[in-house]
Chains A and B, each alone.
Chain A
Amino acid sequence: MAVKPRYLLAIVLVFLLVAATACSSGNGNNGGNNGAKPDNGASGNASEGNAAGDGGNAPEAAIEPLGKYDPPIEVSTVRIINDTYKFAEGDTIDNNVWYKAYEDELGIKIKNDWVVSGDGVGGPGEQKMNVSIASGDLPDIIPVNANQLQQLIEADLIMDMTDVFEKYATPLTKEIMNADGGYAMKSATSGGKLMALPNTGSSMDGAAMIWLRSDWLKKLNLPEPVTMDDVYRIIDAFTNEDPDGNNKKDTVGIALNKDIMGGYAGLDGFFNAFHSYPGIWIKDASGKLINGSIQPETRAALAKLAEMYKNGQIDKEFGVKDAGKAGESQGAGKNGFSFGQMWNPLWPLVSSKDNDKNAEWQSYPLVSVDDQPARPQVSLAVGGYYAVNKDAKHPEAAVKLMNMFIEKSYGEMADPNKYGNANGLEVFKYAVEIAAPATKNLDAHKAVTEAIKSGDASKLNPEQQLYYDKISSWLKKEDGSNERWAYDRVFGEAGSFVVIDKYVSDNLLMNNEFYGAPTPTMVSKGSSLKKMELEVFTKIIMGSSPIDAFDKFVQDWNSVGGEAITKEVNEWYQEQQ
């Protein structure tokens, strides 16, 4: 007797439930379907369409890469920022010098559909972008990472930009976008079509180098590193010969982070000295691509590392320390040697200078185990991609925005005082689309050192001027702030760009030849392979596995999926030729 109402209500509830799910999945359908616009977006588009309706066609007749829309058009985008974005009073990410310039000079009114702070890998920005993609909430200009770009291409949601770019990009834009030998542009290309504009950067800036305490070198009467034996000798002395002079054996020979590779306290430089290139794809003698991690040179480097670990020359507890934690020992004056990148003085090396004003760091090019020069490995440096919504009314606006950024930053009419760095604010970050010439920092180094020699700073652009001011005030001892010291160590006469300059002029950079989207097996097995690699390398270095474990690793790597990946990578490589 009691059964009836209970069941009735249950049935009602089930209906409610079904209704709720159906309702929400209906929305999903709406949003997810190709091109079908959700309600919110539609209203935004309508006004846009109206605005563009009358005048939009006029400028299309004459192609002006920096021409102005009259009447102005509205272009929507989204912004992923981080906590280093600082604004002058009254400015915001929705209203700033760049956005004003877009409107005044190009007739493009930018509308930020959303802004999110947090641009790390897997961070809020990436997640917000993913949910936006999934719910069909796409703006006209879509800033994405490589994976998301691939998804948008597969789902056919974005526009082929080949012709538009060809027609609208200024010569300077084309030059800068291709300055890295075309790797960046190729990485934004699918099936011969350009699907997005890359935010180009500089791969050479990521090349590894040696950093060491030159005051310790002098104190212990050691030679500068020219051969790998010098390096071993230095590391040994920095471990055992009491470089900090406190009569205690408390120094760490070589700082190392738990990821083994990376920008500070990684071992990229060490492996490269052995002509081993873990983690990247290189061309072998037959012209095929092979993975650097599984080559015999890597085995040799690991064997040496295991020996050094056993001799106490590597931080015993490196296995648990990330780069920040690994940096503590140098900050405390307990470490004087590491492999790193050109920016290390700015972080973290400056802290050892802060704590001991006699500390002095010097960078050196990688040295080699044999008579062949060491070649630092570098990978594609693309900060992201700017894709254009298939439904965008004005795809060329995306190219124009890029033209304007490049023109105002690096072109003849450049006004970096206003658009680059103004009053200590990094104004260039406000721009919707940015890109940098591959040699921007190297050029800055050359210009700054030239200006310091000649005393004539008039030819410097504001960014270079900034470096110049810091370095010259350091050299003249006007200002003892160690930040200035750090800039001198990077851009100055003996700075790290001397090393990079040498790499570039001797043509030593070893490019990662694979720059496509992850292949199917990479997607399915990549994380397992990466884990295996890190685990085996760590254990070999720490001596908990013998070096022979490397041979088994190579076998396992191939059987778990590495072989399939190699095949896919080579197929991809064929297509690129």
Chain B
Amino acid sequence: MHLMVIPGLILVLIYHYGPMAGITIAFQKFIPAKGFFDSKWIGLENFRYVMSLPDTWQILWNTVYIAVMKIVAGLIVPITVSLLINEMGKALIKRSVQTLIYLPHFLSWVILGGILIDLLSPSQGIVNQFLGYLGIEPIYFLGLDNWFPYTLVISDVWKEFGFSTIVYLAALTSINPTFYEAAIVDGASRWKQTLYITLPGMMPIIILLTTLSLGNVLNAGFDQVFNLYSPQVYKSGDIIDTFVYRIGLVDAQYGVATAVGLFKSVVSFFMITVSYYLAYRLANYRIF
């Protein structure tokens, strides 16, 4: 069995662990022209620098707030949708739905950004027109601090839920049909079947994806925020990645960018490790 692992292991060591030497950049005032060894070693200066910037804590909070909401919504929505799709009988419609919900994944945020500005416009946007029929005043979704994070979460879930839905649907197929046959014989309702057969059957995958998504607690989605945010919502929408991007615009500061990346990795690592061991200790369940 080692033989099976070796090709992949070698590739990973070369192409993933090899470049990890570059993490040292986080502790340097790295200048590409000087390389790893001639760049000045400055210890934790890059980290200290980022912490010293005036908005760091606000940005960190924004990132966590947006990311956590995305993680939660990104779990609930696909699970629900895959259960609902599973309840569909007509194969043609079922397959069409599956295909269609995966479509937004292929559109880039550059394109969607333009579309969303139109859809959500307080004066002309279709969403606010609809709210108008319900007697609700127009809402400036992209321009107000108290709406912007939710707009991000909803549009992101909308774009990406098709992806996880596919995984859950695949998980559903691996549930042994004899369970359902037995349940029907016992007279269990559809709801009971879902509750006692389907959900437990999906549980390993649900736990796996939940754990993995915890690693994203500091990833609030650069492309999306970059294409949708604006100075008026910096306060609620500026996240770590957009912040690093703007620092880089003045002068590409590799040290700072790598330091921030390392910080994110360490936090992800911590989150995932903790949940891994919790699952193992409490539920005696190995996630991977």
Contact = CB atoms under 8 A, between A and B. Distances in A.
Direct A–B touching, Cβ under 8 Å: yes
Interface of A: 16-17, 20-21, 23-25, 28-29, 31-34, 121-122, 126, 130-131, 133-134, 136, 147-148, 151-152, 154-155, 157, 258, 260, 316-317, 319-321, 324-325, 518, 522-528, 530-532, 534-535, 537-539, 542, 544, 560
A325 B117 contact: yes
A93 to B, nearest CB: 24
Contact of B31 (A28, A155, A320): A155
Interface in B16-65: 17-21, 31-39, 49, 53-55
A523 B251 contact: yes
Contacts of A122: 245, 248-249, 252
A154 B234 contact: no
A20 B13 contact: yes
B34 A155 contact: yes
A319 B114 CA distance: 13
Interface in B215-252: 228, 230-232, 234-235, 238, 243, 245-252
A531 B55 contact: yes
B140 interface: yes
B38 A34 contact: yes
Given A151-B31, A258-B230, 15 more contacts: A25-B21, A32-B39, A33-B37, A126-B252, A133-B32, A133-B33, A317-B122, A317-B140, A320-B232, A523-B253, A524-B49, A527-B250, A528-B55, A531-B246, A560-B54
17 contacts: A20-B14, A32-B34, A32-B36, A151-B32, A151-B33, A157-B33, A258-B230, A316-B122, A317-B121, A317-B140, A319-B143, A319-B232, A320-B230, A324-B114, A531-B231, A531-B246, A538-B230
A24 B37 CA distance: 12
B152 interface: no
A33 B38 contact: yes
B252 A121 contact: no
A83 to B, nearest CB: 15
Closest 8 CB pairs between A and B?
A: A32-B35, A155-B33, A134-B32, A526-B250, A538-B231, A534-B231, A21-B21, A527-B246
Most buried by A among B17, B19, B32: B32
B35 A538 contact: no
Contact of A17 (B17, B53, B252, B253): B17
A17 B18 CA distance: 8
Nearest to A153: B33
Contacts of B13: 16-17, 20
A157 B35 CA distance: 12
A325 B119 CA distance: 13
B31 A154 contact: yes
Contacts of B53: 525, 528
Interface residues of B, number: 45
A544 B18 contact: no
B86 interface: no
A557 to B, nearest CB: 11
A126 B251 CA distance: 12
Interface of B: 13-14, 17-21, 31-39, 49, 53-55, 114, 117, 121-123, 140, 142-143, 228, 230-232, 234-235, 238, 243, 245-253
B95 to A, nearest CB: 37
A534 B242 CA distance: 15
Given A258-B231, A528-B53, A32 B249 contact: no
A71 B116 CA distance: 61
A25 B33 CA distance: 15
Contacts of A528: 53-55
B17 A320 contact: no
B29 to A, nearest CB: 10
Contacts of B19: 24
A33 B123 contact: no
Contact of A130 (B39, B114, B252): B252
Contacts of A530: 246, 250
Given A320-B142, A539-B232, A560-B54, A20 B36 contact: no
Contact of B20 (A21, A33, A258): A21
Nearest to B114: A325
Contacts of A23: 18
A518 B250 contact: yes
A34 B38 CA distance: 9
A203 to B, nearest CB: 21
A17 B114 CA distance: 46
A134 B33 CA distance: 5
A523 B54 contact: no
Contact of B37 (A21, A28, A154, A524): A28
Nearest to A21: B21
A524 B17 CA distance: 30
A425 B235 CA distance: 47
Contacts of A542: 232
Nearest to B234: A535
A21 B21 CA distance: 6
B249 A121 contact: yes
Contact of B238 (A16, A522, A531): A531
A308 to B, nearest CB: 17
Contacts of B114: 324-325
A16 B13 CA distance: 8
B54 to A, nearest CB: 6
A322 B238 CA distance: 17
Contacts of A134: 32-33, 35
B32 A319 contact: no
Contact of B17 (A20, A535, A539, A544): A20
A522 B251 CA distance: 9
A133 B34 CA distance: 8
A32 B38 contact: yes
A524 B256 CA distance: 10
Given A32-B34, A317-B121, A527 B231 contact: no
A33 B35 CA distance: 7
A317 B139 CA distance: 12
A33 B37 CA distance: 8
A207 B149 CA distance: 38
A325 B228 CA distance: 12
